[in-house]
Structure 1
Amino acid sequence: MRSTRATYAIERLNARSTDHRYSMIRTASELFILAQNAGDALPIRVSEPLELDAFVKFVNAYGPQIPRRISKLDVAFEKQLLKRDK
């Protein structure tokens, strides 16, 4: 199924966002729209109709972000790379 990437992006967004639930709307012209669920009311459209790649990129950047975990080894490696570039 072509929309699997979009579905997984929505699942990741819902895992990051605890206040709101999101879903996607797929149009007849194969475009995707991000929608915020509003209970019994109609969903609130958050994005314009986007193609698959642009939709996934938009959803990944939308909402709260999980901080990237960096280990001590990663920090030491980045320092070595900076020294090497100089």
Structure 2
Amino acid sequence: MRTTRAIHAVERLKTRSGHPYYAAVSLPGGMFYLTDKAAPAGKPLSAALALDEFVKFVDAFGPQQPRRASKLDLAFEAQIKNSKS
């Protein structure tokens, strides 16, 4: 179960970045680190982190998904900005 969260975070990163060579490496004690299998010797991209920290790191790593917003959301945000001014 613990490894599943880490693997899903890396899969999301692969989808966002379009780079299929990222991998999560599990260490004893529930620690994980991110690696790039395309780099020589599987260069580690992070230090060994606990599961929650690892998932946060991977979610912040690489390009982010653009936020989806409807026309109504954008109009509402504009209305809020105008009311604060």
TM class by shorter chain equals 0.7 to 0.9
Is residue 44 of structure 2 the alignment partner of residue 45 of structure 1?
Answer: yes
In 2: Cα distance, 1:77 partner to 1:51 partner: 39
Which ranges in structure 2 are unaligned for 5 or more consecutive residues?
A: none
| Structure 2 residue aligned with 1:61 | 60
Q: How does 1:3-82 map to 2 (within 5 A)?
A: 3-19=3-19, 21-38=21-38, 41-82=40-81
Offset of residue 31 of structure 1: 0.5
Percent identical pairs in the alignment equals 46
Tell me which amino acid in the other structure corresponds to 2:78: K
Q: CA RMSD in A?
A: 1.9
Please give the TM-score of this superposition, normalised by the length of structure 2.
0.84
The DSSP-based 3-state class of the residue aligned with 1:59 is: helix
- Alignment TM-score, normalising by the size of structure 1: 0.83
C-alpha displacement at 1:44, in angstroms?
Answer: 0.9
Count of matched residue positions in the alignment of Structure 1 and Structure 2: 85
- Please identify which structure carries the higher helix content: 2
Cα deviation per residue 1:42-66 (whole Å; 9 max; x = unaligned)? 2110000011111001000101112
Can you give the 5+ residue segments of structure 1 that lack an aligned partner in the other structure?
none
